[in-house]
Amino acid sequence: MSTLDSPERGPATLAGPPPRILVLSAPYYRDVVDGMLRGAQRVFADVGATVEVAEVAGGFELPAALAMAMKVPGRWDGYLLLGCVVKGETDHYTFICDAICNGVMNVATASAAAIGFGLLTVDSLDQAVARSRDDRMNKGGEAAHAVLAQIALVRGWGIAG
């Protein structure tokens, strides 16, 4: 495995009942985000998860949508955020990426919720496509594994959702 390869992962596992997952999708780059969603759904299928998908206008809206979803108590065991921001010629990319990442981290640490963060921040659309294909490089699948690991922590530590 080179330093650029993603780890080879087997089927996902999770003790307890099948989880309920909310996927918040920012499909500005529809093909890329849909590819990441397919990767995540394959991982969630391994554990029999119930998956609900809600779309937001763009990546900037992901943190607020996450905060809104958390106002619905007990409905979901975990949250997966999917989106893509491609670098352009202005500083807009930097401001948007920083705002999204900081916003999600603020919600995550304040809520102690199980969150998987699948936001591609790339220099080109080609890089995004390479990370959304149906292979082990799929970042949606990686983020799905992450949220399942977070759910396992929540369950293991007996934290109320």
Three state DSSP letters for 1-54: CCCCCCCCCCCCCCCCCCCEEEEEECHHHHHHHHHHHHHHHHHHHHCCCEEEEE
Query: Is a pLDDT exceeding 80 seen at residue 6?
Result: no
Active-site residue identified among 9, 30, 75, 92: 92
Q: What is the pLDDT of residues 49-88, one digit of tens each?
A: 999 999 999 999 999 999 999 999 999 999 999 999 999 9
- Mean pLDDT of all residues belonging to the chain: 93
Query: Is a pLDDT exceeding 90 seen at residue 10?
Result: no
Query: Is a pLDDT exceeding 60 seen at residue 161?
Result: no
Q: Cα–Cα distance between 38 and 22 in angstroms, integer?
A: 14
pLDDT at position 2 is 45
Fold of 20-157: Rossmann fold (3.40.50)
Q: Binding site, residues?
A: 28, 59-61, 84-86, 89-90, 117, 131
Q: Binding site for (2S)-2-hydroxy-3-oxobutyl phosphate, residues?
A: 89-90, 131
Instruction: Check if 145 is active-site.
Output: no
Query: Is a pLDDT exceeding 80 seen at residue 1?
Result: no
Which residue(s) pair with 120 in the sheet?
84
Global confidence as pTM: 0.93
Core vs surface per residue 128-137: b (16+ CB within 10 A) or e: bbbbbeeeee
Q: Binding site for 5-amino-6-(D-ribitylamino)uracil, residues?
A: 28, 59-61, 84-86, 117
Residue that is written with structure tokens 């996927």 in the block: 23
Domain ranges, ordered by start, for the chain: 20-157
